[in-house]
Chains A and B, each alone.
Chain A
Amino acid sequence: MEIGIALVFIGAAITATLGFAGSAIGMGFAGQAAAGVVGEKPNLFGKMLLMQALPGSQGIYGLVGAFLILSFSGVLGATEALNISTTVGMQYLFAGLPIGIAGLISGIYQGIVAAAGVSLIAKDESNMGRAIVLSVMVETWAIFGVLISFILLISIV
C-alpha cells in the first residue's frame, strides 16, 4: 500500500520536473537569442519576451499533469490514509510519462525553433505570426503527451 502511494508521488514528481526541465532549457535557448536582438533593437522587447515564453508551455503542462495525477489518485485533499496498490501506483507513474518525456524533448526543440524565430522577427517584425506558428508546431507533441496522459489517467482501474 505504501509503495503505491510512493509511486504516485514519483509519477507526479517526474511529470512536473521533466516538463520544467524541458521548458527551462528551451526558454534558455530562446532567451539567449532574444537578449541579442533586444541589445540591438530594444523596441522589440515585448515580442522577444513572448517568443521566449513559448517553450514555457511544457512546464505548465507538467504542472497540470502532476496535479491531475495527485487529484485522480485521491492524494490531493485526502484526509485519511489512502489504499493504493503497487500496480495502480505503477499505472499512475506510467501515465505521467507521456507528458514528462514529450515535455522535456519538445521543450528543448521548441526553444531552438523559437530562437530561430527570434532571428526571423529581428529581420522583419511582421514575421511575428509566422515565427510563433513555426515554434508552436513543435509544442503539438507535448499537447499530445497531455492528451495521452489524460486518457491513461481516466483509464486507470
Chain B
Amino acid sequence: MQKVRLSVYTADVDTALNIIQRAGALEFTATTITDTKASKVTFPYADLLPRVQHAVQFLSPYAKKRSLWRTLRDGSQEEISENDLAGRMKNMDVILPLVTDFERLQVEFVEINEKLRLQEEQHRLLSTWKELPIKLSQLETATTKTLLVFRDPRGETESLKLSLEKVLATLPGVITEVSDSAVALTIAKGSETKAAVEALVLAVNADIVIPPQGVEIPDIEFAAVSQALAATKGELGLLYDQAEHFALTHLNQLQIVGEILSWQKDRLSAIGDAASTEYTVMFDGWLNKGKKAAIEAEFVKKDVAAVFAELELVGDEQPPVDIENNSFFRPFEVVTRLYGMPGYKDLDPTVFLAAFFFLFFGLSLTDVGYGLFLMTVSLIVLTLFKVSAAIRLFAKLLLLVGFSTVLVGALFGGYLGVDPELLPDALKAIQLFDPIGNPLPVFYLALGLGVFQVMVGMLVKVYSEYKQGRFVTGVLDQGPWFIMFCLGILYLAISLGYTSILAAGQVISLIYVTVALIVLSAGRHGDTIFAKIKDSLSALYSSIGYFSDILSYSRLLALGLATTALAFAVNMIAGMVFEKGSYISYFLAALVLIVGHLFTLAVNTLGAFIHSARLQFVEFFGKFITGTGREFNPLSRTEKHVTVRDE
C-alpha cells in the first residue's frame, strides 16, 4: 500500500475518479495541503438523485416479484458495458420527465388517499347515527340545538337514554334514542343551558360528538357516502394499476440510474477532502500499488490529465491493509477476512492457513456423503446460478472443503453414518481409522497435526522477520523452540521404537541444552540483569501456551465423532420407523432420513467451519501475526442493481 497524492486537471476530475472507482484501488484521506481554493467541481445531479431514489423506494412494492429460482439463475443485477454506462450518463435528461411523471402519480396517490381517509371517517360516523330521524341541516335551528351524545357501551348496565333522563330531570330537553349508547339531545339555545347540559353529559361518562357533515337524515347521507367511498376505492385501484405499470416499465431504468448517480456522488464526495487550485484538484490517499500501472494506462487511454506522486509516511502512520491472492487461494480469504486484517507489516496468512483449513474442515466433518452434498451444492451455485462475487468465492471454498471432507471421510469410513461393517470391501480397504471403535489414533493424529501447525507457525514467523530484515532475530526467537519440538518428536519416535538414530538419554541431554538456549535467547532482550531474568522466565512460561495450543487440536477428534454419532442416530431412528412395515412408516422413515441428515449436515458444517477457523485464529495466527490492521476501504462501486462488465 502506497501513500500518494493524485493531482488532476479540474475538467478531468470526474473521468479520473471514475477510472479509480472502477479499479477500486484508492482510499482517499483528508489532504494535508492548506491555503487552497474551494473546488469548482460539484455533483451535477444533487437535485435529481434523491428524487430518483424516492421513486425507486416508492415503486419497489409495486414491482412484480421474481421467483427465487429466476433470481438465482439470471442474477439480480443487470449487466451493462462501460460504453453503455457512459451513454446513460450522457442521456440523463430523459430521466427528468420520467421522475416528473412519477411525482405526478404520487401526488394523485396522496390526494386520493386523503379523500379516502375523510370519506371513511364520515362513513364510520354516519354508521353510528344512521337511525337518527333528524336531518343533519336541522341539528341547529334559530331556537334549538341538537347535541349528539355518545358513550362507550363497555361496562355500562343501562342505556345512555335512561342515564341521561335521570340527570336531565331539572332541565328542558328532548332525548331521541338512536342506540343504547347514542342519543340526540335537543335543547333550547342559550349558553347557560348548553354549559349545564355539557356538565351533566360528562357526569354520566358520555361525550358530545361532532356531528357528521351533510344535509339529509344520516341514513340517506350514509348511502351517498358509501357510494362515494366505493368510487374512490375504484380510483385508488386504478392508481395501483398505474403504479404497477409504471414499476413494470420504468423501475429497472430508475434503479440503474439511481445506482449510477450514487456512484458519481460517491466519487465526487472525495473532493470534500481534496485541495484545489485554479486548474487542479489534489487528492491524498492510499493506493494499491499493484493496480497503479493499470490506472495510469487508463488515464493515458482516456486522455486524462492526472498524475500520482508518492508521499512519505508521517511519524507512526500505518497504511491500511488489503489481501490479494491467486485464484486457488482466494477462497480461503473468506477465513482471513472473518478474523480481520493482519498488521500492515505482517504476512498475509491466507496461503499458510489454506492447507490446514482444508484438512481440518475435512477432519471435523469426516463423511463422504456430506462432502459430496457440499460439493454438489457448490457446483450448482457456481455453474448454474448468477450470484455475487462474494457468494461465488464462498461456494468455491465450500467446494474445496467438501472435497476434503470426501477424502477424509473415505479414510475414516464415514458414509452417512452407515455401520462400517456393512460397507463393501473396496471401501473398507481404504479406511485407515475407526474413530468410534478406536478413537485414540485419531486423538493422536489431531495432536500431531497441532504440533505440525504450531511448528509451521514458527517457520512463518522466521520468514516474516526475514521479510522485515530481522532474520537473525527470527532465528534466535523461534529457533530454540523449533529445535525443542523436533527433539520432542525424536524422543517420542525413539520411545515408540520407530528409530534408533540416538539413544533416549542423548535426546534428553539435547533437550536440556535447548532449554538453556531458550533461556539465553529470550534473555538477550532485557537491558538489566533483572529484565533478562524476567524475559527468560517468560520464555519458559511459553511452554504452557504451546501445550494448551496443541491440546486444543483435540477438538478435531470430537467434531468428527459428533458428525458420525449424529448421522448414526438419524439412521437408527429412521430404521426403527421403517420396521413398522407400512407405507406411512416407509414415508416417515424417508422423511426422518432427509430432514435428519440435512440437520446434521447444517449443524456440523457450521461447527467444522467455526472450529477450523478458530484453530487458525488462536493457535496458528498467534505465532506470527503481531497486530491487527485497518482494512483497506477504497472508493469503489457498490453494485446492487447493475454491474459493469469488463470489455
Contact = CB atoms under 8 A, between A and B. Distances in A.
A24 to B, nearest CB: 14
Nearest to A144: B548
Nearest to B565: A63
Interface string B505-537: 000000000000000000000000000000000
B628 A127 contact: yes
Interface in B435-463: 436-440, 443
A129 interface: yes
Contacts of B544: 140
A35 to B, nearest CB: 16
Contacts of A126: 340-341, 628-631
B562 interface: yes
A76 B562 contact: no
Contact of A146 (B339, B340, B551, B613): B551
A68 interface: yes
Contacts of A143: 547-548, 551-552
B610 A64 contact: no
**Range, interface on chain B:** 35 or more
Contact of B610 (A50, A77, A128, A139): A50
Interface string A112-136: 0000000000000111111011001
A76 B437 contact: yes
Interface stretch (A6-14, A52-60, A80-88): A52-60
Nearest to B549: A143
B548 A140 contact: yes
**Considering residues A56, A127, A129, which has the most beta carbons from chain B within 10 angstroms of its beta carbon?**
A129
Q: Is the interface of A mostly helix, strand, loop or mixed?
A: helix
A61 interface: yes
A45 to B, nearest CB: 10
A56 B610 CA distance: 10
A94 B289 CA distance: 61
Contact of A64 (B341, B554, B613, B614): B554
A119 B610 CA distance: 20
B558 interface: yes
Nearest to B437: A77
Nearest to A19: B558
**Range, interface on chain A:** 20 to 34
A139 B625 CA distance: 21
A74 B625 CA distance: 43
Contacts of A76: 436-439
Nearest to A49: B610
Interface in B592-614: 607, 610-611, 613-614
B363 interface: no
Interface in A25-74: 46-47, 49-50, 53-54, 56-57, 60-61, 63-64, 67-68, 71
B539 interface: no
B614 A50 contact: yes
Contact of A63 (B438, B561, B618): B561
B557 A64 contact: yes
A76 to B, nearest CB: 7
Contacts of A3: none
B557 A67 contact: yes
A67 B548 contact: no
A1 interface: no
B617 interface: yes
Contacts of A67: 439, 557-558, 561
A68 to B, nearest CB: 7
B621 interface: yes
A147 interface: yes
Given A60-B558, A64-B555, A136-B618, A147 B547 contact: yes
A68 B341 contact: no
A57 B555 contact: yes
A133 B618 CA distance: 7
Given A57-B552, A67-B439, A132-B339, 16 more contacts: A53-B607, A53-B610, A56-B607, A60-B558, A60-B611, A64-B443, A64-B557, A67-B561, A68-B440, A71-B439, A76-B438, A129-B625, A139-B552, A140-B548, A143-B551, A144-B548
6 contacts: A50-B617, A67-B558, A68-B439, A77-B437, A126-B631, A143-B547
Interface of A: 46-47, 49-50, 53-54, 56-57, 60-61, 63-64, 67-68, 71, 76-77, 125-130, 132-133, 136, 139-140, 143-144, 146-147
Interface of B: 338-341, 436-440, 443, 544, 547-548, 551-552, 554-555, 557-559, 561-562, 607, 610-611, 613-614, 617-618, 621-622, 625, 627-631
Closest 8 CB pairs of A and B: A77-B437, A143-B548, A60-B558, A128-B340, A53-B610, A63-B558, A126-B628, A60-B555
